Structure 1
Amino acid sequence: MPAVARHLMILGRVQGVFYRNWTVETARSLGLTGWVRNRMDGSVEALVQGEADMVDHFVTLAQHGPPSAKVARIDATDVPAEALNGFEKKPTA
């Protein structure tokens, strides 16, 4: 099955609640590749790619995130898949 990729903008109370660490752990456990980073506006941005059903499952889980997070919404956009290895945390942008 070909890889799909989604660019996510996660809004709400998602910084200072271990959301990025949760994202890395969850994405890796689902066999996904990509990255996650905080944004200066208080949101979290991620690129998640892999099998379509696993990407969809990740987006569903991300609606809740870690226990202290309060996700208001996720804006998801399909993007071309990239050649990535693993899932990493990037510096704030």
Structure 2
Amino acid sequence: MPQDSGDIRMTAWVRGTVQGVGFRWWTRSRALELGLVGWARNTEDGRVEVVAEGSEEACVKLLDLLRGCDTPGKVDGVVERWSESRGSLGGFSER
């Protein structure tokens, strides 16, 4: 995970029962509460891909929420990748 104090990008792939249960809407709501920008989309293999940019602290909180027990559906696992913010995102959308 990057250690600088600037904005970062967190990409997470969430697997489990996460499509058709309001998971993307829930993720968007949590991300907006944390002041993050980005998107969440269903993938063809049944996962949800989440891309979020903002402070490291906010991205870590979102990742913790994605792994938590209060999500819609059932999360079996989350894999994440950290990178530099691209700064090209605005708002948070469901794709």
Same fold (TM over 0.5): yes
**Among 61, 79, 85, which residue is 1:57 paired with?**
61
1:78 and 1:68 map into 2 onto residues whose CA distance is 24
Verify the 8 A CA contact 2:11 2:82 in the aligned structure 1.
yes
State the Cα RMSD in Å.
1.4
Alpha-carbon deviation of 1:65? 6.5
Using the TM superposition, name which of 63-72 and 34-43 deviates more: 63-72
Q: Does 1:21 align with 2:62?
A: no
The counterpart of 1:88, out of the listed 82, 86, 93, is 93
Could you tell me how far 1:9 is from its partner in structure 2? 0.5
1:35 equivalent to 2:9? Answer no
When normalised by structure 1's length, the TM-score is 0.89
**How far apart, CA to CA, are the structure 1 residues paired with 2:22 and 2:69?**
9
Tell me if the contact between 1:22 and 1:66 (Cα under 8 Å) persists in the aligned partners.
Answer: no
- Give the CA deviation at 1:79: 2.2
Flag structure 1 segments of 5+ consecutive residues without an equivalent. Answer: none
Contact 1:4 1:51 in 2 (8 A): yes
Unaligned runs of 5+ in 2: none
- Percent of aligned pairs with the same amino acid: 30
* Cα deviation digits, residues 31-53 of structure 1 (max 9, x gap): 00111100111100010111111
CA shift, 1:89, in A, is: 1.1
For residues 53 and 71 of structure 2, the distance between their equivalents in structure 1, rounded to whole angstroms, comes to 24
Q: Given residue 92 of structure 2, which amino acid in structure 1 is its aligned partner?
A: F
